[in-house]
Amino acid sequence: MRRALAVFTAFAAILWAALPLRFDVRGPRLGIPALLAPGEVFTTDLHLSHPGWRPALEARLERDGVSYPLELVGDHLAWNRLELDYRTPPDAPHGGYDLVLVDDSGVEHRRERSVHLLPPPAHDLRIVQLADLPTFGSGPPDGFGEGPGDAEMRQIVREINLIRPDYVLLSGDVAYVGGWFHYHKLHEHLLDLESPVICVLGNHEYKGLAGYLETMGAPRHVVDHGDLSFVSLNTGHGRDQLTASQFTWLERVMDERHDQRVIVQMHHPLFWKRKVFVRVDEMVELFADHEVPIVLSGHWHADNVFDEHGVSRTDGPDFPGTKYVTTTAAGAELHPDQSTAFESYHGYRVFELHGNQLGRYTYDGDGDGQPDTSSSHPAHRMLIEDLGDGGVRIASSWNEDLLGATVSLRSRRELVPDKGTLLRRRVQGDMILHEVRIDVPAGADFVVKLVEPRP
Amino acid sequence: MIAHLLWLQLPFVYLPLLVVGLAIYGADFEHPSGRIYLWTPLVLAVLHSLLRHFGRVLAKREVSAAVLILGAAVVAYAYRPLHMSWWDERSTSQAAHILAIGVCSVFASQLGARRVTRAGGPDATHAACAFAVLALIATGGMLYPMIALLALAPLMAAGAAVDDEAPDAPRAERPATRFGGWRRYAVLLAGIELSLPLWDFQTDPRWALFLGLGLLGVAAGVVLAARRPLFAVLLPAFATVWTVAAAFDSAQTVCPMHALLVGAGTGWLLRPLFEARAVKDEPASLAWCTPVWIVGILLGYVLAANRSIMGLRLLFWLPLLIPLLGVFRNAPSRPSGSDSRPTT
Ligand SMILES: [Fe+2]
């Protein structure tokens, strides 16, 4: 009797934990997206509640209310990890999609904007990087509600959508207070970005690590897109200063990508103070060997640029070797004493890549017609106002031209823009979104609107 | 062996996992969850001491079976929310669940200890087998980081079903080994050394492999300590090489061989515990070994987190003392214990 009860208890205990059979979609995620061309294959990584179990799933991509079924072309089960390879529809339009997995009981598992169908990366790319975001929400740390940080973040998202980079990098301290609620808020804000987002954590994410991992995913990762790779390292302050196991991972990742263009981001800078302390020389050597054009950081809430000898450069942005760049805070308190920029402000870094050569990566802060040594682009100096009638007002207080910006105009009918070039139209519910390419000269203030096409 | 398993799971599985969860995922002591975690060690220590002094009622077979089965159910209930989600520092319910599992773990440990005592004292072979099983359980963390907590449920159920260390022929007179002084210090250092890979891997659950390998090493050390001539030379030699390497470059600590060897060294140090006479319902003085070992794990975390501070980095040299202590302290003192060891 006692033995029977004991055996029953043991089995019941194990089953209780594993049942009902359930799974978690670990990848791709909003901040660790799959980037590929329509018709190519990406891998979905599932974490199963019971080893050896294969859930029956239906998978699709969703965008603007339209579904595109995914074709399962391979799978790999290892204990409690199931990798499913899905082929994307060759006819699906470019853009960011939700990945939707439906299990046999009809429950939907959605990873919003985790798959981006894109052409292969071009030779010339524009990338935006930001870190140390404003504090979302209002009230106590776990309080719900809107705060000034949300308005700031929305403005930054509008500006980045206008700049329309090929990729957006988020280099840590992304929800400054670090509660679950703040990560949900962050997730909401990021859904408004048109470009794919690649996100890594900073020291502040260790104040609510479970919330970050649940919302944004793995603490370190690599995202590949064609011949381009983004390596994101976890330098969470005081705990994981590039531990031995992470460095071994980095070496392997870099080795496997010796033919790739590699961009690296990590929250802590490698040089000067408040930095990564261990394995710095090894990392610099590794990045030099692989001709990494730029290593991006935040954490200082200040602009600064170092060469690979750890010298803070003030003589101009052009010098040989990898550029180690720290970018000002996008919303957190500024620390001008650590900045070498002409002026301290909230902002983000806009940089260009030509092949594997770093193009322009600093802003012309002093307005002398030349890019500064370390300045990032200022936030809140580009007004984008939706006039509500299919028109948008753009007022730039930048010192430099923004070439090839993209503005989105809405109407109920197919129209044409009165300025710029129509890139494409997207149907969103009963509205039609017109994406228009336009140049925004320094100091310009103009309205672009939709008009009837001329016969 | 099951009594040994019940006895040893508290210091070698539950407490290390509690420290790992709190250290890797953080703790917010201004949040109610953090305050529960602050009280947890105290509550468990008080409960442990109460059970030691007033827990005679637990000695009854029916009572112990009922407590173990109830405990297994509580553990399963409390573990479930952790199975597929992250350790959440700000979850009050999770903190309460972890405390509940801790209470079960203390009950199980005390029941195990009583059974071991009743059988005349611990047994090295049983202890080695128990460490091997605990190693397997800990390694399961590679799949689900905290699954070793759930493993307590089948262990308790097994304890209810099998009373394997029921009084048998009284084990012959044994030395009342004092597990003190240098040996305690060495266990502290082993805690530091064995925890380093845990802090290195962080949220990557491969740290569980290293915890498992460390415990497997302990099992091997307990067994091999009987074969002194070979072991006493080889182990310190290997462990010295590895610890010196770890002092120069912490990358060495994430070598599986390193965890095995340091574990083996620890097992070698612990062996006298399992050959000692039970004293006052306590099988040897594990009560002294446990806090020291857990403080070692915490110190390992402090070291790993402040690796950049040169003075602290020098402390990585300390573990070197384990094999040296083994040679100069352990070996000469062994013959008396070893020779009078009864056949088991
Ligand atoms: Fe930071």
pLDDT tens column, B204-257: 999 999 999 999 999 999 888 777 666 667 776 777 777 777 766 677 778 888
For residue A107, report the distance from its CA to the centre of ligand 1, in Å. 38
Nearest CA to CA, how far is A16 from chain B (Å)?
A: 7
Residue B35's contacts (CB-CB under 8 Å, 6 or more residues apart) are B29
Separation between Cα atoms, residue B138 and residue B304, nearest integer Å = 21
Separation between Cα atoms, residue A114 and residue A198, nearest integer Å = 10
pTM, whole model, 2 decimals? Answer: 0.92
Query: Which residue in this structure is represented by tokens 């100091």?
Result: A443
> Can you give the pLDDT at residue B57?
78
Find the residue in B nearest to A208 (Cα).
B89
Q: What percent of chain B has pLDDT above 70?
A: 77
Residue B331 has pLDDT above 60, yes or no: no
Q: What is the dihedral of CA B199, B202, B205, B210, to 10 degrees?
A: -10
Residues of A with a Cβ under 8 Å from any B Cβ are: 2-3, 5-7, 9-10, 12-14, 16-18, 22, 24, 47, 49, 51, 79-80, 142, 179-180, 206-211, 213-214, 219, 234, 238-241, 243-245, 247-248, 277-278
* Pairing label, strands B278-279, B282-283: antiparallel
Q: How many residues does chain B have?
A: 344
Query: What pLDDT band is residue B176 in, cutting at 50, 70 and 90?
Result: low
For residue A237, report the distance from its CA to the centre of ligand 1, in Å. 7
**SS3 label, residue A34:** strand
Beta carbons of A238 and B305 less than 8 Å apart:
yes
Beta carbons of A278 and B305 less than 8 Å apart:
no
Query: What pLDDT band is residue B334 in, cutting at 50, 70 and 90?
Result: very low
Q: What is the mean pLDDT of chain B?
A: 81
> Can you give the pLDDT at residue B338?
35
Q: Which residues of B touch A6 (CB under 8 A)?
A: 65, 68-69, 72, 157-158, 160-161
Q: Which of A239, A182, A241 is nearest to A212 (CA)?
A: A182
Domain regions of chain A by residue span: 23-117, 124-372, 382-451
pLDDT digit string (tens) for A131-170?
999 988 776 655 567 888 899 999 999 999 999 999 999 9
Nearest CA to CA, how far is A38 from chain B (Å)?
A: 32
Domain A124-372 CATH class label: alpha beta
Separation between Cα atoms, residue B152 and residue B148, nearest integer Å = 7
Which tokens go with A121? Answer: 């990366």
Mean pLDDT for the stretch of residues A4-28? 84
Find the residue in B nearest to A238 (Cα).
B305
Separation between Cα atoms, residue A360 and residue A369, nearest integer Å = 13
Q: How many CB pairs under 8 A join A and B?
A: 131
Find the residue in A nearest to B143 (Cα).
A80
For residue A372, report the distance from its CA to the centre of ligand 1, in Å. 24
Q: What is the mean pLDDT of chain A?
A: 91
> Can you give the pLDDT at residue B344?
29
> Can you give the pLDDT at residue B340?
33
> Can you give the pLDDT at residue B149?
94
Beta carbons of B75 and A241 less than 8 Å apart:
no
Termini Cα distance of chain B: 13
Residue A58 has pLDDT above 80, yes or no: yes
> Can you give the pLDDT at residue B231?
67
* HSE value, Cβ hemisphere, 13 Å, CA-based, for A421: 6
Mean pLDDT for the stretch of residues B37-60? 86
CB B222 within 8 A of CB B131: yes
Q: What percent of chain A has pLDDT above 90?
A: 73
Mean pLDDT for the stretch of residues A1-28? 82
Query: Which residue in this structure is represented by tokens 């800990």?
Result: B138
Other CB atoms within a 10 A radius of the CB of residue A413 amount to 9
Query: What pLDDT band is residue B333 in, cutting at 50, 70 and 90?
Result: very low
Nearest CA to CA, how far is B199 from chain A (Å)?
A: 8
Beta carbons of A10 and B72 less than 8 Å apart:
yes
Return the minimum-mean-pLDDT range out of A50-59, A72-81, B180-189: B180-189
Mean pLDDT for the stretch of residues A66-91? 95
Higher pLDDT, A274 or B111: B111
Find the residue in B nearest to A47 (Cα).
B84
Q: What fold is seen in the domain A23-117?
A: Immunoglobulin-like (2.60.40)
CB A98 within 8 A of CB A112: yes
